[in-house]
Amino acid sequence: MTLNTEETTRPLAGRVAVVTGGSGGIGRAVCAKLARAGASIVAVGRNAARLDETIAEARRAAGEDLPALCLPLDVGSADDMTAMAARAVDRFGRIDVLVTCAGILRAGRRGPKPVAETTPEEWSEVIRTNLRGTFLADRAVLGVMIPQKSGDIINVSSTSGLRGFAYDAAYCASKFAIVGMSEALMEEARPHGIRVQTVLPGPVATGIWEQNRPVPPPEKTLPVERVADGVLYLLTLPRDAVLVNPVMVPFRTHRRPAWRAPAAGVGVAAGDRGETR
| Whole-number Å distance between alpha carbons of 81 and 84 | 5
Quick count: other Cβ atoms within 10 Å of Cβ 225?
A: 14
**Options 171, 201, 206, 224, the catalytic residue:** 171
| Whole-number Å distance between alpha carbons of 159 and 171 | 11
| Whole-number Å distance between alpha carbons of 210 and 259 | 39
Q: List the 194-201 sheet strands across, edge first.
A: 68-72, 40-45, 16-20, 97-100, 151-156, 194-201, 247-248
Q: Is 171 a catalytic residue?
A: yes
Radius of gyration of the chain (CA): 20
**CA separation, residue 274 to residues 250, 258, 265 (Å):** 17, 5, 18
**CA separation, residue 270 to residues 125, 257, 267, 276 (Å):** 46, 15, 9, 13
Q: Mind telling me the catalytic residues?
A: 171
